[in-house]
Amino acid sequence: MSMNGRMTPGDRKALGGKSLWKGAALTIGALAAAGALLYLLWSQGAFLPRWVKWQDRVIHDRSGEYEITLNRESVHVEYGGTQIWTSPEGAKVQDVLSCDIDNDGEDELILLCWKIGRYGVHRPFWIEKDERKWSQHLFVYEYAGEEIRPKWMSSYIGVDVAAFCSNGKEGFWSRLLLTDPVGEVSCWKWDSWGFSREKTDVSFVVFGDNLIHEPIYRYGLREDGGFDFLFQNIRDTIEESSVAVINQETPLTDDSAGYGDYPRFGTPAQVGQAIVDAGFDVVTCATNHALDRGAEGVGFTRDFFTSRNVLCLGIQPAEEEEHRPYETITRNNVRFALLNYTYGTNGIPVPAEHSHMVHLLEDADRVREDVAAARADSDFVIVFAHWGTEGSEQVDEFQREWAQVFLESGVDVVVGTHPHVLQPYEVLTGQDGREMLVYYSIGNYISAQREESCVKGGMASFTVSLTAEGYKVTEYGLQPLTIRRREDGCYMVEMTEE
């Protein structure tokens, strides 16, 4: 500063430098404070995805001995009125579940939670250092009296989970259902070392009436005694499907004297072997011709298929004293209950002492009971109904009435046969919002009927997938089929365009 008290340029420069350093220090301090605040918020989980919904709930294990409370992202467990356990520090609990996930008959406690890092105390030997970021986990614990013991803690699953639940089943098919933020559901099973994701899509193909008239079986017997030609053009389709079904319209026999055409059919057992060799999983046999060869024909047909690991529906031999309303088949750990009924047996009475020999559409209350039992024992219910008016492309009142019974009972899919012609298919919706896909008639698979409408059949196809509302039909359609008769007398089935 000069002698007269005025600032020199050098003084102003020095003062400006001090101000800059002071401002910079303040800025650095503010940034450090902001950084510390952000780190504190981050370490508390303030920046977790916005789609996460933090649940508050009180649940109990199945024994009722443990009360589990989820509140403010922490879980507390009481046993005998005393709190015995609290979820680990550093884990923010999104939701909680108590179920028997490992199928040992006892519940496990499962936490859907967030923590920093992918691993727990232990990590794979090839991982040198855990990540320093939040990730979502499943922690599994066992109830052990006054203890809650860790069962599985290396728990990063690699998918985003907005909600989770169990499938409500016990035994080998208990599963966790995880829903991601966009509503897609995945299925996970316990593998003793953790959870593994399972494929849940199951594809069905269903073919109509395998109606073996005399010209068809005479050709097969004359050539080489085999009937593989019947399914030559659909083998790949059968192989690609999860479950393949055909309606065996006529009873089988291994007695050539019992071969027959309309009105009392008897079909060479070699036709049944061709069905087996083609790879079919299920045959439906409750038809109006089921008793054409009497009780003996029912018993032979049923035993023929079941002894070759093909599920045979709708008929029971006299030796079976109890009514078996449905059979089950499991694919991708999805359990399907399959039922099969016919409107009648062409006036041939079902033996009074064996009323279950052919499953009939006559007692609606009994059918409702059958479906209720099937629903309790499965994830998905399918009914194969032999009904309708022969030769009519219109759905009749009988079909409409029974479709309503099935819908109200909780059936998921109905596939109809018998009219020998194609009829419409649609999705019906019940008063409770439940949907049911119904094919009223998919026509003939093969026959020697010459009417143009009988030559055109269809293959019903649908896919069952896991959704947020449970197992549902996610795709469905009808592939047209045409029956061709060659000059040498051979009947073949071809897939055709719409």
Specify if 491 maps to a domain.
yes
CA distance 29 to 42: 19
**Contact predicate 119/156, CB 8 Å:** yes
Specify if 229 maps to a domain.
yes
Provide the 10 A C-beta neighbour count for residue 494.
12
pLDDT of residue 150: 93
Specify if 1 maps to a domain.
no
pLDDT of residue 122: 52
Specify if 368 maps to a domain.
yes
Specify if 130 maps to a domain.
yes
Nearest to 110 by CA among 135, 77, 82: 77
pLDDT of residue 32: 61
**Contact predicate 61/107, CB 8 Å:** yes
* Domain CATH number, residue 311: 3.60.21.10
CA distance 63 to 130: 38
Q: Which two tokens stand for residue 106?
A: 């006892």
Same domain? For 376 and 231 the reply is yes
DSSP 8-state class, residue 129: S
- Domain boundary pick from 168, 198, 228: 198
Same domain? For 240 and 132 the reply is no
CA distance 42 to 373: 52
* Structural domain for 221, as ranges: 202-495
Q: Which two tokens stand for residue 118?
A: 């992918």
CA atoms 448, 449, 455, 458: torsion sign: negative
Q: What are phi and psi of 308, to 5 degrees?
A: -110, 20
| DSSP H/E element including 35 | helix 9-43
Specify if 39 maps to a domain.
no
Same domain? For 156 and 244 the reply is no
Same domain? For 354 and 249 the reply is yes
Same domain? For 182 and 235 the reply is no
- Domain boundary pick from 198, 231, 249: 198
Provide the 10 A C-beta neighbour count for residue 269.
15
Specify if 117 maps to a domain.
yes
Provide the 10 A C-beta neighbour count for residue 74.
15
Same domain? For 219 and 284 the reply is yes
Q: Which two tokens stand for residue 142?
A: 């066992």
Same domain? For 164 and 207 the reply is no
pLDDT of residue 294: 96
- Domain boundary pick from 198, 218, 239: 198
Same domain? For 351 and 471 the reply is yes
Same domain? For 210 and 194 the reply is no
Specify if 258 maps to a domain.
yes
Same domain? For 408 and 264 the reply is yes
Same domain? For 209 and 342 the reply is yes
* Domain CATH number, residue 173: 2.130.10.10
Angle at 291 between CA 297 and CA 438, to 5 degrees: 110
Q: Write the burial class of residue 354 (CB in 10 Å: 0-12 exposed, 13-18 middle, 19+ buried).
A: middle
The rounded average pLDDT for each run of 10 residues, N- to C-terminus, in the chain (498 residues) is 60 60 66 56 65 95 96 96 94 95 92 81 52 85 95 79 85 82 90 85 98 95 87 97 98 94 96 97 98 97 98 96 94 94 96 95 97 96 98 98 98 98 98 96 96 94 90 96 94 87
Same domain? For 244 and 170 the reply is no
Please state the pTM of the whole predicted model.
Answer: 0.79
DSSP 8-state class, residue 51: T
Q: How many domains does the chain have?
A: 2
CA distance 324 to 308: 19
CA–centroid distance for 268 within its chain: 36
CA atoms within 13 A on the CB side of 366: 13
